[in-house]
Amino acid sequence: MAGTRDAVLDAAERVIREHGAARATTRLIAREAGYSEATLYKHFSDKHELFLNVLTRQTPEFGRLMGGLGRRAGTAPVREVLEEVARIAVDFYARAVPLGASLFSETRLLDDYRTRLAEWGVGPHVPVDNLAAYIAAERERGRLRPGTDARAAAALLLGACFQQAFFSHLTEAVRAADDPAADPVPALVATLLDPLLPDPAERG
């Protein structure tokens, strides 16, 4: 049964990415998955529940990383941790942006998603909260300047990651995988982090 459910979710994601939420009917999804519509309704009560499951399944790796940041303070160089966060965030946002954008094509779907996020106690603010808590913990350990605004720093880094992901869907420019310029993460992190370090000697 789990295999069928996953196959339906995979098919629904492909259909949403190709056609958008408004035109992604259960009939089209069933055809893509190779099942009948009746099979879909054995696993999901309606199209909206199906779409919500497609959207929420994008978060596991990103969610695990961000949820565990509190335990990372003081265990590794701040730069290393922030670069790991940024790389996974860019990847997560790149996958989530097309699906998230489709929410705005149906008011009810957007309302349902907001309700589900509130019920689960999650949402786009949670990664910012988690990263801000990590940055604050490093500040308290003296590894960042005393005046560091943890929440602003978290918002700036994740906002830049979101922008990188968003722009990746709007340009056809593709850089070679071995081109150092293809990875924006070191520069993003350095620009944010270097002014926050307590001693210039730590900026290497």
CATH number at residue 2: 1.10.10.60
Stretches where the chain sits below pLDDT 50 are: 173-178, 201-204
120-178 pLDDT, tens digit each: 666 778 899 999 999 999 999 999 999 999 999 999 999 999 999 888 877 754 444 44
Q: Are both 97 and 165 inside the same structural domain? A: yes
Q: Are both 21 and 87 inside the same structural domain? A: no
Asked whether the beta carbons of 151 and 128 are under 8 A apart, the reply is yes
pLDDT of residue 72: 93
Q: Are both 110 and 70 inside the same structural domain? A: yes
Pick the closest to residue 17 from 130, 169, 187, 163 (CA basis): 169
The total domain count for the chain is 2
pLDDT of residue 176: 41
Asked whether the beta carbons of 78 and 143 are under 8 A apart, the reply is yes
d(CA 111, CA 132): 28
d(CA 26, CA 43): 12
d(CA 34, CA 25): 14
**Backbone dihedral angles phi then psi of residue 160, each to the nearest 5 degrees:** -65, -35
How far from 122 is each of 4, 77, 86, 127, CA to CA, in Å? 27, 28, 20, 9
How crowded is the C-beta side of 58, counted as CA atoms within 13 Å? Answer: 22
pLDDT of residue 58: 64
Q: Are both 122 and 137 inside the same structural domain? A: yes
Q: Are both 100 and 193 inside the same structural domain? A: yes
Query: The domain spanning residue 121 has which CATH number?
Result: 1.10.357
pTM over 0.85: no
Q: Are both 46 and 117 inside the same structural domain? A: no
pLDDT of residue 122: 67
pLDDT of residue 36: 92
Residues of the domain holding 85: 58-203
